[in-house]
């Protein structure tokens, strides 16, 4: 098995993809809007991935946060609110905000499990600030570490109740970035003492099954390399100071914050200590180069992947009841 999660080019597996994936044996797959048409089509695609892998617990990821980041949407799927909606309710009634976040995540998981998706890249544990880039501020749970952690925990619990694995992101914190790492490399100049605030939600939820790195330079820790490529940040900050021992994946390796070829970036992330690389764009030549550049997944990485995928049970719950509960609570705000 190669330590990489690959994207898919369209709504069905192509012949070339099927042959390549059978040989490369990636650690998982990630879905985007280009892969989605109907419930029946999406279930057929995820079933084909399980058939290809010969097992049921394949990591099939999606970014279904709600709001601006949603791969499944109307009219085929319901829309879901993003983090700031729960932040606003928490401001008025903290326990109601937490319960609304839990019900929302449970409902989200039911819609994903129905079509065979097993992992959702949620929750964000980034602590927002007044000047946080809109790419994060429009999705975050708020500006207080305790609040972010509480709603992050509720989200993980809701996803798990619906049979879906959650991913905490973007480690070790994206809230101080003033630029969008999809297009630029942000540099954070805060001191190590100030950055403790950003670490707090991740430390609280250090037992999460999966986590995702940020493509950000933190001058206090490693002025030369972004977190994804920094052994210092991954080992000393994420693994030791935060205490995270789950499966650690990169954010999309193709984001413009990182320089170099996809294969170079992928190899650099694995060498720095990431368990798996996330490559989202399904460009066959790039996927082939990444697979050739990477060693097999480490024994510890495979153990973390297996533990994450076995951390949830069967999907259970009533979608209508959960969304009605969430909406009634959000109406309080």
Residue 140 Cα distances to 76, 168, 220, angstroms: 26, 12, 24
Residue 251 catalytic? yes
pLDDT over 90 percentage in the chain: 97
- The arithmetic mean of pLDDT across residues 258-269, rounded, is 96
- For 64-77, the pLDDT digits (tens) are 999 999 999 999 99
Cα angle at 280 between 174 and 63, to 5 degrees? 55
Q: List the catalytic residue out of 57, 182, 184, 254.
A: 182
Q: Is the pLDDT of residue 16 over 90?
A: yes
Q: List the catalytic residue out of 198, 251, 252, 275.
A: 251
pLDDT at residue 267, as a whole number: 98
Q: What's the CA gap between 172 and 274, in Å, rounded?
A: 13
Instruction: Give CATH for domain 2-330.
Output: 3.20.20.300
pLDDT at residue 132, as a whole number: 93
Band of the pLDDT at 295, cuts 50, 70, 90? very high
Q: Is the pLDDT of residue 39 over 90?
A: yes
- The arithmetic mean of pLDDT across residues 143-163, rounded, is 98
Band of the pLDDT at 257, cuts 50, 70, 90? confident
pLDDT at residue 179, as a whole number: 81
Q: Where are the domains of the chain?
A: 2-330
- The arithmetic mean of pLDDT across residues 122-138, rounded, is 95
- The arithmetic mean of pLDDT across residues 262-283, rounded, is 98
3-state SS of the chain is CEEEEEECCCCCCCHHHHHHHHHHCEEEEEECHHHCCCHHHHHHHHHHHHHHHCCCCCEEEECEEECCEECCCCCCCCCCCCHHHHHHHHHHCHHHHHHHHHHHHHHHHHHHHHCCCCEECCCECCCCCCCCCHHHHCCCCCCCHHHHHHHHHHHHHHHHHCCCEEEEEEECCCCCCCCCCCCCCCEECCCHHHHHHHHHHHHHCCCCCEEEECCCEECCCECCCCHHHCHHHHHHHHHHHHCCCCEEEEEECCCCCCCCCHHHHHHHHHHHCCCEEEECCCCHHHHHHHHHHCCCCCHHHHHHHHHHHCCCCCCCCCHHHHHHHHHHHHCCC
Residue 182 catalytic? yes
pLDDT at residue 184, as a whole number: 85
């Amino acid at each position: 098995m190669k330590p990489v999660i690959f994207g898919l080019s369209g709504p069905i597996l192509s012949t070339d993809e099927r042959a390549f994936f059978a040989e490369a044996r990636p650690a998982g797959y990630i879905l985007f809007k280009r892969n989605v048409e109907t419930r029946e089509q999406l279930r057929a695609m995820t079933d084909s991935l399980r058939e290809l892998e010969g097992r049921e617990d394949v990591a099939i990821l999606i970014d279904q946060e709600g709001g601006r980041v949603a791969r499944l949407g109307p009219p085929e799927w319901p829309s879901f609110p993003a983090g700031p909606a729960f932040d606003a309710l928490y401001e008025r009634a903290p326990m109601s905000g937490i319960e609304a976040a839990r019900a929302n995540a449970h409902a989200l998981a039911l819609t994903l499990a129905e079509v065979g998706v097993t992992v959702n890249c949620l929750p964000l544990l980034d602590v927002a600030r007044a000047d946080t880039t809109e790419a994060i501020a429009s999705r975050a749970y708020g500006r207080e570490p305790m609040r972010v952690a509480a709603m992050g925990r509720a989200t993980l619990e809701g996803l798990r109740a619906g049979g879906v694995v959650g991913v905490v992101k973007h480690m070790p914190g994206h809230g101080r970035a003033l630029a969008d790492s999809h297009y630029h490399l942000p540099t954070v100049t805060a001191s190590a003492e100030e950055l403790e605030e950003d670490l707090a939600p991740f430390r609280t939820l250090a037992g999460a099954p999966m986590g995702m790195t940020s493509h950000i330079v933190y001058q206090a820790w490693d002025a030369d390399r972004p977190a994804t490529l920094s052994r210092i940040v991954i080992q000393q900050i994420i693994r030791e100071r935060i205490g995270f021992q789950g499966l650690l994946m990169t954010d999309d390796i193709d984001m413009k914050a990182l320089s170099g070829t996809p294969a170079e970036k992928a190899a650099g992330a694995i060498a720095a200590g990431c368990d798996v690389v996330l490559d989202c764009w399904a460009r066959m030549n790039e996927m082939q180069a990444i697979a050739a550049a990477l060693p097999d997944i480490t024994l510890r990485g495979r153990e973390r992947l297996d533990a994450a995928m076995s951390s949830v049970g069967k999907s259970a719950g009533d979608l209508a009841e959960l969304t009605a509960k969430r909406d009634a609570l959000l109406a309080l705000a």
